[in-house]
Structure 1
Amino acid sequence: MKNESQIFGIRAVIEAISAGKTIDKLFVQKGLQGDLARELMSVLKKENISFSYVPIEKLNRLTRKNHQGVVAYASPIDFYDLENLVMQVIESGETPLFLILDQLSDVRNFGAIIRTAECTGVHGIIIQKKGGAPVSADTVKTSAGAVFKIPICKVDHIKDAMFYLQGSGINVIAATEKASGSIYDINLKNPTAIIMGSEGKGISSSVLKLVDHLAKLPLYGEIGSLNVSVACGVFLYEVIRQRL
């Protein structure tokens, strides 16, 4: 993580949150006491920001500065509001294409997907606030800077985002090996959102129940699945092929 994204000191972290900064990671010293510490906890609870209690030794390894028992890492980008973004895309007259990432955890896969999404004209990437890979320095590097060129939306729950997209006339398609049909059998010329799952578990079962279509890629080798960033690229370029 680049140092410019690191915020240390209780008051500095409170002010960063108040200014609307997105906090990707937050470490708080075990047993931290005092009025400022209580104010910080109140802010974290109000803004629903998760954090980890850690020993002071870990904080000392993160920075040599006077951290006062708190070290945070802010996202290097500003996130978009999903509803506003969807409305803008629809009003532009373009055929919407969105990408939903369900609990993707590897920052390098995340960066590679962002890069491919930008190259294929994806209008926005949707991620969940908790549980997924953060937009870190590694994400920025792997995306080759594409993270600054494509809108990314953080939502409380993937399922709520799906409901909103479907209510806006956008078909939600799950990329999963559990599908019986191929991606090549689905009409992608219509408004589309594609969901990619996590590296280990894929798309959660509760999300799969809500999608409009399930689709898979045909595999002819002995390996049962593709890397998620590679699979995502194939799906997105099939969208382009059909829309050309």
Structure 2
Amino acid sequence: MRKIEGRNPVLEAMNAGREIKKLIIQKGARGRSIQELIERADKLNIPVEMAAKSELDRIATSSNHQGVVAYADEFRYVHIDEILQFAEDKGESPLIVILDRIQDPHNLGSIIRTANAAGVHGVIIPKHRASGITPVVTKTSAGAVEYTKVARVTNIARAIDELKEAGLWIVGSGLEGDRSIYQADLKGPLGIVIGSEGEGMRRLVKEKCDFIVQIPMFGQIESLNASVAAGIMIYEAVRQRRFS
């Protein structure tokens, strides 16, 4: 079983239809969100236990459980084909985010939250040397993982080949890009590659990209946090696809 921590992430998991095995609430916790959780648990026949804060501190993975921890089924990763089919069912050109070894769960959670808000059809992450869907990722995403299709693959380069065969163009972000993100055409079927914190995209992944763009930098700092870069890339694609 996996743990879901925090009031909103647990509520979103319930709303999304995830099977919750048990809900633990801190003794003395109050507020509308706590009452809503208890009422939803009652309707869904989810057992509710009350526990001291020290007990929740002990079992929680994240540092801010907000007095709520739920035990649920393991997160279900999807296949790439499911992401592509999801886009087709919506009658939209696929927009997919590909993460090359994002290791910080806070960054992963933030990227998934942005991807969901922007209507991205799915996120692809690697199985090795990268964060998976953890309680911290779930909490940071504000529950967006419950609604976002995430594929976990053995080989990112091979996954990019699969996307190319499906007709997607692949764009990466890097200082070596030959054009600005604002000069690139991001309107069609697209995969956006975001490299790891500090190291960026691996050489083979970079070579798989059809083109690489730069995010303009006008200050003294030459790089952005991975989740910030992802947000800029995603929303420029959204702007071009929906507002131009």
1:146-178, Cα deviation, whole Å (9 max, x unpaired)? 011100001110011100111111001011122
Aligned partner of 1:215 in structure 2 is: 213
Letter in 2 for 1:103: R
Q: Secondary structure at the match of 2:208?
A: coil
Identity of aligned residues (%): 37
Contact kept? 2:121, 2:148, Cα under 8 Å: yes
From 201, 204, 208, the counterpart of 1:203: 201
* TM-score after normalising by structure 1: 0.68
Aligned partner of 1:229 in structure 2 is: 227
Contact kept? 1:75, 1:134, Cα under 8 Å: no
Q: Runs of 4 or more off by more than 4 Å in structure 1?
A: 1-5
Q: Secondary structure at the match of 1:132?
A: coil
Q: Does 1:172 align with 2:183?
A: no
* TM-score after normalising by structure 2: 0.68
Aligned partner of 1:151 in structure 2 is: 149
Letter in 2 for 1:235: M
- How many angstroms apart in 2 are the aligned matches of 1:155 and 1:144? 24
Letter in 1 for 2:162: Y
Task: Compute the RMSD of aligned alpha carbons.
Answer: 2.3
Change (3 A) 1:165 1:133: same
CA shift, 1:181, in A, is 1.1
The 5 A counterparts of 1:73-92 are 76-92=74-90
Q: Secondary structure at the match of 2:108?
A: helix
Contact kept? 2:122, 2:149, Cα under 8 Å: yes
- How many angstroms apart in 1 are the aligned matches of 2:116 and 2:197? 21
CA shift, 1:226, in A, is 0.8
Letter in 1 for 2:126: Q
Aligned partner of 1:93 in structure 2 is: 91
- How many angstroms apart in 2 are the aligned matches of 1:3 and 1:92? 31
Letter in 1 for 2:152: K
1:82-138, Cα deviation, whole Å (9 max, x unpaired)? 123313423542111000000010000110001000000000000111111121111
Letter in 2 for 1:226: L
- How many angstroms apart in 2 are the aligned matches of 1:3 and 1:112? 18
CA shift, 1:77, in A, is 1.3
Q: Secondary structure at the match of 1:159?
A: helix
From 182, 185, 189, the counterpart of 2:183: 185
Q: Secondary structure at the match of 1:99?
A: strand
Change (3 A) 1:198 1:97: same
Aligned partner of 2:110 in structure 1 is: 112
Letter in 1 for 2:81: E
- How many angstroms apart in 2 are the aligned matches of 1:88 and 1:238? 21
How many residue pairs are counted as aligned between the two chains? 179
Gaps of 5+ in 1: 6-60, 63-73
Aligned partner of 1:160 in structure 2 is: 158
Contact kept? 2:98, 2:123, Cα under 8 Å: yes
CA shift, 1:200, in A, is 1.6
- How many angstroms apart in 2 are the aligned matches of 1:187 and 1:155? 27
- How many angstroms apart in 2 are the aligned matches of 1:106 and 1:231? 14
- How many angstroms apart in 2 are the aligned matches of 1:193 and 1:238? 13
- How many angstroms apart in 1 are the aligned matches of 2:93 and 2:215? 23
CA shift, 1:75, in A, is 8.2
